[in-house]
Structure 1
Amino acid sequence: MSTQQVFRLRNPALLVAMAAAFPVVSYAASAANVNFSTGSVVGINAAGVQRPLTRGADIGNGDTIRTGEGGRAQIRFSDGAMVSLQPQTEFRIDDYQYSGKADGKEKGFFSLLKGGLRTITGWIGRSSRESYKVSTSVATIGIRGTEYTAGLSPSGETLAVATGEGLVEVCNNTGCILLASGEAGVAEKGSPPRRESSRPRLPPAALPPSNDDQREFVSGDQVNSAGLPAVGASFTTGHIVNTGGVFHGDSTVSLDASGNLIGYTSGSFSSSIGTASVADSGTSDTILKWGRWASGTSTVDNVSVTLSANQGVHLLWGVPTAIMPTSGTGTYSLLGGTSPTETGGSLTPGTLSSASMSVDFGALTYSVNLGGTISGVATTFSASGAGSLTSNKLNTTSLTGLIGACSATGSVAGMFFGSSAERAGITYKLDDGTYTVVGAAALKQ
């Protein structure tokens, strides 16, 4: 049995160090596509015509997706949103508009008619809370975040909602409640929504293995004791991989049995560890994880690269911040990171000994300082820089510093992670004309 598992991530964003963002793939004539289906899953159009839904099937405005007993489906919308439908569920796309960019016309209005779902919202859910709504027989769900679970009782009289990341608003004609990350609530007909201590109980999320015993899941199905994706479970979407500066979002991520990142795809770009190994890895908690591929041949964005033990593909991945602070400041310190390497492989990996960052959320600026060693402990390096923020991204900015006694320049880029920007992940590059030092760092507030 293969120990490798595949996780279809809602928006996972992966932070791999290289320097451009890739857009969400949009579907020309449909609102969404089926990522996975098992058991009885059918689509019913506005005219009442029914058809089976299998992997790759298009779903359009006015369509209702119905799962039977034991049936499950995972739907990917063109804005990057993911919806995982539980058995005996009916979910309708009432009005969905997305042109592939923010033009003020985007909207996602849906109805949960029966059953339960887990969802990770895409661009529409983050751009404007007025443009997203899920209606039920009991209450409506609006969002200001990225992930939540919702389930209707068999009678349709009770709606249970739990927020994974961000903020969810549940309203009916008697009142509203806001549910923050980790909170759950219930709405019943004729009564104001109220908070509850337990999450909605949805049917088991188990899926039958495919021929290669790999499985696909949507966020929130299972986690291990550390709260990270377990084998046979997924991480929250919106992940970032940064290898020298490239932000990969909306990715399919592969983990090994230990939970290490061993591959990802984003749009037409694919990366895999190949014959290389995970040289160093670490995690802070459920929010952010890091690692480095080395000693073998890997594929990075469709390009084959051969890595020695002294080189590496430096990776960070986690759950990006959906709603950023709009005022105040933050101070971040080093949480962990990969061993700094020299791109040519002429120096042995070193140690990132210090990293700090100051952020002004109101002014949308940040400053960062880094320090460490390369070639064991023989050569020190240090660098600093200041840049700007755009939403939850630390925009690429210049670094100046030293490698040994030689002046060096470079760049740094990153992103905020966690529900309240309590983590930040950065990748950096520093070049003195002879050596180029690269690495990844996780920071905590």
Structure 2
Amino acid sequence: MKNKTQNVLGQAVRWTLAFVLAIPAMAFAEDAVKVSQVWGKVEINGKSASVDSAVAEGAIIKTGADGYIYLKAADDGLLIVRPNSEARIVNYHIDQQNPANTRVKLELISGVARSVSGNAVKQARQNFRFNTPVAAIGVRGTDFTVFTDKDTTRVVVVDGGIVVSGFGGACSPQGAGPCEGAAAAELFARQQGVLLQINKGQNKPQLLQSAPGLTPDAIAPPRADEPASKSATGSSAALIAPAATDPNLDPSKVGGVKQTLASNTNKTPNNTGAGNNNGAALTNTIIWGRWFELFGQKADFDITKQDQNGASPRGTNSYFAIFQAKNTEWQVPTTGSMGFALKDSQAVVVDNIKSLESAAKLENAKLQLDFAKATFTTGFDVVSGSERFALKGEGSVTSTGILYGANQYVPAANMSVQGVVTNEKGGTAAYIFQSKLNEDGTRMVYGVTNWGKQ
């Protein structure tokens, strides 16, 4: 009996010792994440944040107008939350002995944050998820910066790569790990001067050129002492994605002839769509214009100003953008239909092989909304020089008038569309579009349209 008791006690001691020895290799959010630095007004779960304090799973971090907080993880991961932002540590479980057990999930509810993957995450990338209200972000061993509000997320990669997908289908906010598949889009640090943007209701993000006012750093700049990326060779300025610059926008390099953007009205190019250089509204509800310099003409649309005014983005491509003025959503009818005539437009054809941009105009344009089915169909001819391309699109209309185009590769569509319809003047609509003009996508067309009820 004594020997049996001793054996049982000895086994218990061995189990206890094994468990104790294993503890350092495992860390949960309670001791895996701590506050490294804090400036200004920052609260964690409603209490002022302090240096060296632990951050538990489920903790909500809120920063004021002057607030910055650096959170350091046990695996050398880093989460930086910038001013006027709200983030959450959903979970941070590290298992260094068995990386397959590592689970890390972060959430940016609003504002701007930067996430730098730690060693454990790099060994278990399949178990990392960074959520926003509209997207799931996975990593390829990464350092990235995010801006989000309830409708739009934009991501810039500082080092490594990411994969981004909108919520829908198998990709849900409750999931873990990256969302892969046809609806996902990747972005790598080597793709300088671009970012990924996704709007609420979209499945797949758009790849856009970074422009002043569009990047997360422009909305909430980093502190001068923010750590540089491992690939950076200078100061933290290297963290800021450079604004896109393209020498081929010089008119002298576009066929040797100074071009202007074609328009379906007699307005001058600088005023087309925007009305003035500040992006004045075509009506009281829809604001649109060109946010990127083209043919030697400065941008006539200020995305930052529209954000500051509380306007909501309804569509953005590589050259043009559409916003809807604050509190102007239209509860669209549930019966009937409405036809529209094209009032104004701008378009540019891009040849990526020849590095040429060519102005284009639209002809034979149609837009029809079916409120009973909550759908729309549209189409027009893109005319550039002696070339003509017939484009068509279709998609859904939400209860508040947002237009979401179907995938441009479905049989009934060959262009992607994003926009909005309002009840101004009995019916006003606008959308941005883009489409491949050849099979390999080396020729593209980008444009914006404004419509009035027929």
Global fold match (TM > 0.5): no
TM score, norm. by length of structure 2: 0.39
Bigger RCO (CA 8 Å, 6+ sep): 1
Give the structure with the higher percent helix.
2
Could you say which structure has the larger radius of gyration?
A: 2
Give the structure with the higher percent strand.
1
TM score, norm. by length of structure 1: 0.40
